[in-house]
Amino acid sequence: MTTMTLKKVSEIARHHGVTDEEYQKIVATLGRTPTVTEIGMYGVMYSEHCSYKSSRPVLRLFPTEGPRVLIRAGEENAGALDIGDGLAVVFKIESHNHPSAVEPFQGAATGVGGILRDIFTMGARPIALLNSLRFGLLSKPHVQRLLKGVVSGISFYGNCMGVPTIGGEIAFDESYEGNPLVNVLCVGIVRHKGLVKGSAKGVGNPVVYLGAATGRDGLGGASFASRELTEGSESDRPAVQIADPFLEKLLLEACLELIQTGVVVGIQDMGAAGLTCATCETASRGGMGMDVDLAKVPRRVEGMTPYEVMLSESQERMLVIIQKGEEKKAEAIFKKWDLHAVKIGEVTRGPLLRIYENGSLEAEMPASSLTTEAPIYERPARRPDNFGKKNLSLEDIPVPDLAKSFKALLGSPTIANKRWVYEQYDHMVRTDTVVLPGEGTPVIRVKGTKKYLAVTTDGNGTYAALDPYRGGMIAVCEAARNIVVSGAEPIGLSDCLNFGSPEDPEVFWQFKECVRGMAEACRAFGIPVTGGNVSFYNESPRGAIDPTPVVAMVGLLEGFSPVTGSFKKEGDAVILLGETREEIGASEYLKVVHHRKLGPVPAIDLTQEKVLHRILLSEIRKGRVKSAHDLSEGGLAVALAECCVMNPRAPIGVRIRKIDFPLRSDAIWFGESQSRILISVDGKEKENFCRYAKEAGVPATALGEVGGNTIQFGKAFSISVQEAESIWKESLRGILGG
Amino acid sequence: MILRRRSFGVVVFPGSNCDDDCRYVLEDVLKQKVRMVWHKERDLSDLEGVVLPGGFSYGDYLRCGAIARGSPVMKELVAFAKKGKPVIGICNGFQILLEAGLLPGAMLRNGTLRFICREVHLRVETSRTPFTKTLRQGEVLALPIAHNEGNYFADRSTLEAIQANHQIVFRYCDAAGETTEGSNPNGSLAHIAGLCNRQRNVLGMMPHPERASEPILGSADGRKIFESFLL
């Protein structure tokens, strides 16, 4: 082993983001000075991205238990929930923000590739992808370039894989200008007995390297993701990986076929921290050791050092631990799929991970010293002095021309229909997408059963910036609301928490508050968190992004058809469930029309929200609800217009009578009061429905009837269906072209 | 409608991704006998019809369908087609049929230079194929497309020949059946969405009938194509 002077090595360690304190701990663990390879391995595993060293204590607030939970958060690559009939749903959301900021196409594409691998390494067949994106203001050419790159990267990868991208959301706000967010969710399905673990067991079992050769791409990507973006980040391009979805499609089919044969002991993809992470995590989960010979690792370029091989984040690679004696079965499958597979090592009696190259020992450490024994920090958190002071006073906000404001909102990039984006995604492959993007909460059927899965991603960065606790809570409520409007019952969530630097006490306070709000909402609804991802250091030279909790939620619906958001029939009654208050703070209306980003964030009452969900679900199950759509950005006016035009086959108008809420007219039409859902029912059911809802404690207001070619907003203003449809559907194309 | 139970093959290339969707429609929806045919197989003698499904065979590297053309199964498929047995190539399958020379012409990238996934309308141009024999000429179908390279191109003499022989099976149109400029999603020559060979037993089409064969998916028009073929 090479030795160096202590001072020089600790400097190298610092360069790898290893603090002096962490370095001392490493020296104590090893009982000697670490090699450069070892420093690289510790550096990457101790990065925020891999170790969750700042977030872990806070994430403990989340409820992770529930009757459906088969694999809990953090145990494996993704959590798993029982959906009955011996089936499980496996899902996880992850960020790929930094790579997408410097190289949008490859960054986003490899983000999709990574999350797909997390799902199929569990033995699950990926059945849907969603993505939650945030960009700066779309009027900037630089932002348009990023958006186009990210969308084509997602399209390139997901389409080739044959996994439909069924939905997601995109919002635009200047806080994301230098640091866009690219969060990708994958949902998979598997028989309980087909679930496999990412752990190494059985002394002497071969450790097989499968897939692409190792190159210098993505070197230290996890470390790159764990620091702020700077002016110099462009030169970090080599830290971004290159995508090959075709190879991943072969890996997917080969791995699922292999898992079926029962010869797989454990399997893990090489994602962040590459071979280092895959070897130490599988060994440590299995309570075993592992010997690896790097000379056997297929290389893309000559002259790679052990350090580089261990840290490369080349894509489309898997580590598979196979039952000894069954190698032939595995080889036949790899050969069928034209995949390169090499035995690179063996499982040993624990606890050491030993990395050799041609007989020379390059690294040796207890596997768990890289994983479960990684440092954890209780970061200081401080409430910002100006918290709660960025609230508007209503007198300063004049009530504008409502018709003009409505059109501006309907066409604003955050609210406008995103077909320019989702038409680039194959959202129909697998022929399970029964509610298409743009027509309500995306829903997929599970063939061979009467089950449907509704999937959504939600999270409002403006709310979380102005009030992280409430913003976190609302993110969970809104996601649950979006599940419920389809008729499905929420069963679990995965979260992607996008924040600035955790070393900034004010950012860390935002993080803690946000998680506290989310956790409270999860507990109130009884929805377990099954895993997720924390992305810190989302900062550009302009400062930290708005804290953005993205909630990815899955709902289960069984035995009846899902409900969509579009109005269905002339004469149906339109009913607003929930209470509208004088709340225009933090709204999209305030941003778009008044160019102000001020609180207060709308109030949220978990009890009220729960009752709303219960009533709606029970009425949907009785078949009484023809359409249901939640109210969010743009408030009542935008929701009404969307219900009129969201079904491309049959747009229809609506006549809303004069609304006599004792509120400012802009709050009535554009305010974002929470816990509200717009539904339509048969005209004859109107009275009964409203009475029933009120008795159950949910305010219900009959607003008017479906029909005609005009959207009539009481006496306030009106717009033709055709014009509304054109503004909503053509706005993004007008900005982005084509 | 009582359908004869037939034996179909759905070819699987590395990178095919609509293979299981085609199997599902034929086997589970239309109750046919289906065998998945691995691209290295060389015996198709048990089959009465073959589907080349959509996807990204060989990652669409080089050109869409260009590498798949060289797969062992393709030699057999050419012989199978020459015998007059029905072959339908959907999306990437259409591209492979073009590359293999079973159909004339070539595919260019979409005019928008972007992947397009959405429902379009098609006009049936001829009932004189096994795949459209129960459809009416001029009938309008709603089917989804999902491709990056569906912009059909042929030189002038080829176009004249396929027109003279009534080989154009489907054209992109609007809901009323008019071939307006706005109804051509990808810039395809003469709005061509589907094409057959001179013997009329080989059909290539960019839209996906297997994605529109059940009412729950928004359209069951695609089923008419499969059913026509089965009668």
Task: Give the Cβ contact number of residue A636 at 10 Å.
Answer: 24
Q: Which of A326, A348, A374 is the last residue of a domain?
A: A374
Which of the residue ranges A128-137, A269-278, A587-596 would you say has the lowest mean pLDDT?
Answer: A269-278
Q: Contact B56/A246, CB-based, under 8 Å?
A: yes
Look at residue A2 and tell me whether its pLDDT is greater than 50: no
* Residues A248-284: tens digit of each pLDDT: 999 999 999 999 999 999 999 998 899 999 999 999 9
Q: What tokens appear for A159 in the block?
A: 């389409």
Residue A439 CA neighbour count, 13 Å, CB half: 21
A349 domain residue, yes or no: yes
Q: In angstroms, what separates the C-alpha of B4 from chain A's closest C-alpha?
A: 24
Look at residue B86 and tell me whether its pLDDT is greater than 60: yes
Confidence of residue A240 (pLDDT cuts 50, 70, 90): confident
A174 domain residue, yes or no: no
B57 domain residue, yes or no: yes
Say if pTM beats, i.e. exceeds, 0.80: yes
The mean pLDDT of chain A is 95
A231 domain residue, yes or no: yes
Task: Give the Cβ contact number of residue A194 at 10 Å.
Answer: 18
Chain B residue with Cα closest to A161 = B17
Query: How many separate domains does chain A show?
Result: 2
Shortest CB distance from A431 goes to which of B15, B56, B217? B217
What is the rounded average pLDDT of the residues B207-217? Answer: 97
Shortest CB distance from B118 goes to which of A337, A423, A433? A423
* Residues B160-193: tens digit of each pLDDT: 999 999 999 999 999 999 999 999 999 999 999 9
Q: Which of A359, A374, A389 is the last residue of a domain?
A: A374
CA distances, A473 to each of A516, A538, B1 (Å): 8, 21, 54
Range of the domain at B209: 7-230
Look at residue A3 and tell me whether its pLDDT is greater than 60: no
Confidence of residue A6 (pLDDT cuts 50, 70, 90): low
A464 domain residue, yes or no: no
User: What's phi and psi for B209, nearest 5 deg?
Assistant: -65, -30
* Residues B12-42: tens digit of each pLDDT: 999 999 999 999 999 999 999 999 999 999 9
* Residues A467-490: tens digit of each pLDDT: 999 999 999 999 999 999 999 999
Task: Give the Cβ contact number of residue A298 at 10 Å.
Answer: 17
Range of the domain at A620: 564-738
Q: Contact B21/A430, CB-based, under 8 Å?
A: yes
pLDDT more than 90, % of chain A: 91
Please report the pLDDT score of residue B83 as a whole number. Answer: 97
* Residues A644-655: tens digit of each pLDDT: 999 999 999 999
**Full strand arrangement of the beta sheet holding A451-458:** A433-435, A443-445, A451-458, A548-558, A489-498, A529-535
Q: In angstroms, what separates the C-alpha of B107 from chain A's closest C-alpha?
A: 18
Q: In angstroms, what separates the C-alpha of B210 from chain A's closest C-alpha?
A: 8
CA distances, A543 to each of A25, A139, A223 (Å): 32, 20, 20
Which of the residue ranges A239-243, A278-282, A295-299 would you say has the lowest mean pLDDT?
Answer: A239-243
CB B149 within 8 A of CB B107: yes
Confidence of residue A542 (pLDDT cuts 50, 70, 90): confident
Please report the pLDDT score of residue A236 as a whole number. Answer: 63
Please report the pLDDT score of residue A1 as a whole number. Answer: 41
Q: Which CATH number goes with the domain that contains A591?
A: 3.90.650.10
Helix (H, G, I), strand (E, B) or coil at B18: coil
Q: Contact A423/B17, CB-based, under 8 Å?
A: no
Residue A331 CB partners (closer than 8 Å, separation 6+) = A341
Q: In angstroms, what separates the C-alpha of A445 from chain B's closest C-alpha?
A: 10
Q: Which CATH number goes with the domain that contains B55?
A: 3.40.50.880
Please report the pLDDT score of residue A75 as a whole number. Answer: 87
Residue at token pair 């029933």: A692
* Residues A300-352: tens digit of each pLDDT: 999 999 999 999 999 999 999 999 999 999 999 999 999 999 999 999 998 99
A360 domain residue, yes or no: yes
Q: What tokens appear for B14 in the block?
A: 């590395």
Q: Is A96 designated active site?
A: yes
Pseudo-torsion of CA A388, A393, A398, A404, nearest 10°?
20
A412 domain residue, yes or no: no
Confidence of residue B152 (pLDDT cuts 50, 70, 90): very high
User: What's phi and psi for A627, nearest 5 deg?
Assistant: -150, 150
Query: How many separate domains does chain B show?
Result: 1
What is the rounded average pLDDT of the residues A529-533? Answer: 95
* Residues A356-393: tens digit of each pLDDT: 999 999 999 999 999 999 999 999 999 999 898 889 99
Confidence of residue B4 (pLDDT cuts 50, 70, 90): confident
Is A426 or A6 the better-scoring residue by pLDDT?
A426
ipTM for this model: 0.97
Q: Which of A428, A436, A439, A726 to mutate to probe the B interface, most B CBs <10 Å?
A: A428
Q: What's the longest Cα–Cα distance across chain A?
A: 85
End-to-end CA distance of chain A: 59
Q: Which of B18, B64, B91, B196 is catalytic?
A: B91
CB A161 within 8 A of CB B17: yes
Q: Which of A374, A391, A420 is the last residue of a domain?
A: A374
CB B216 within 8 A of CB A445: yes
The continuous run of DSSP H or E covering A700 comes out as strand A700-706
* Residues A135-176: tens digit of each pLDDT: 999 999 999 999 999 999 999 999 999 999 999 999 999 999
End-to-end CA distance of chain B: 9
What is the rounded average pLDDT of the residues B215-227? Answer: 96
A137 domain residue, yes or no: no
Gap between the Cα atoms of A403 and A603, Å rounded: 27
A:B CB pairs within 8 Å: 92
pLDDT more than 70, % of chain B: 99
B151 domain residue, yes or no: yes
A53 domain residue, yes or no: yes
Please report the pLDDT score of residue A558 as a whole number. Answer: 97
User: What's phi and psi for B6, nearest 5 deg?
Assistant: -120, 170
Q: Contact A338/B216, CB-based, under 8 Å?
A: no
